[in-house]
Structures are given as structure tokens and as C-alpha cells.
Amino acid sequence: MMNQNQIFLKTPLGTARISGDEEGIWAIQILDEQIPTSTEIPDFLQPAAQQLNDYFKGELQEFSLKLNPKGTNFQQKVWKALSEIPFGKTCSYLELSRKLGDEKAVRAVASANGKNPLWVVIPCHRVIGSDRSLTGYAGGLHRKQWLLNHENNTSQLSMF
């Protein structure tokens, strides 16, 4: 029997598990195992599935979903700040800490970033090291690089 609070969606980076209910989406995770795409999608999960598909097709730059992630007040504050990083842009953990008002909190900010339950929708992949290097990413650095490349689609640049 299917869990009515989650669906599976094929993406270019693997299978995404989307979990939520009428109150909002509480988790989107990328899985390493291949699970068939869900054929029955509850109404409250349809917008998330559609918007993720549109994002990966290059047709969506900003998600507009009802979100309900579970976390501490500090984590919620970090995740809100992450959501404000524009599509195609990056910032460092230090810059994010400064934005939140305490540059000494860089490790706590990095920890909250790593606990982001909403893969891609809350764009933790847009946070990089102060030296502009790719740093830890729960979904794997290859996925982080892919997402950053996707958002800075160089194939759209003119060759002339």
C-alpha cells in the first residue's frame, strides 16, 4: 500500500522523495536508489511534483509551494535566508552568517544548511566556501555541481 504522504519522482539526479500533507511539504530528499515514479499523486503533492519537473526542464527559477519543514527556530531562520539566495547566484557560509547577524555562527549556519529537509526548493546548493570552492553537500558534491551548472546554463550562451 502506498504511503499517502509521499511520492517518488524521477529527476536527472536520481529519485526524489516528496513528503507532505495538506499543511505543506515537509521534506524533499534525493535518493541514491532508483524507485519508480509514483503514478498516483495526492492533490497536495501535485504542485511540488510539477514545480520540480519544471525546474529540471529549465522552465522554473522560483518555487511557490506551501512548505512546512520541521526544525528548530534557528534552522528555520537559516532556511528562510537560504530561500532568499537568487536563482543562479551563490553565497558563502560566512556571507550567510553575516546576513543572519552573527558571523561567528558560521559553523551553526553550516550545520543548519546541512539539515535542510527541502532539497532544491530551499537552495542550500547555492552556498559555497569563502574561497568559492564547493563544500559539503548532503546530496553529494556531483549533484551540487550539477545544480549550480543547471542554474548557470552556459549552453544558452551564444557561440557568435
How many angstroms separate the CA atoms of 93 and 54, rounded?
28
Which of the following is catalytic: 124, 127, 128, 147?
Answer: 124
Catalytic: 91? no
Contact 91, 126 (CB under 8 A): yes
Task: Calculate the alpha carbon distances from 14 to 5, 17, 33, 79, 97 in Å.
Answer: 20, 10, 8, 23, 31
Task: Calculate the alpha carbon distances from 16 to 5, 13, 33, 43, 79 in Å.
Answer: 14, 8, 10, 17, 19
How many angstroms separate the CA atoms of 70 and 102, rounded?
23
Mind telling me the catalytic residues? 124
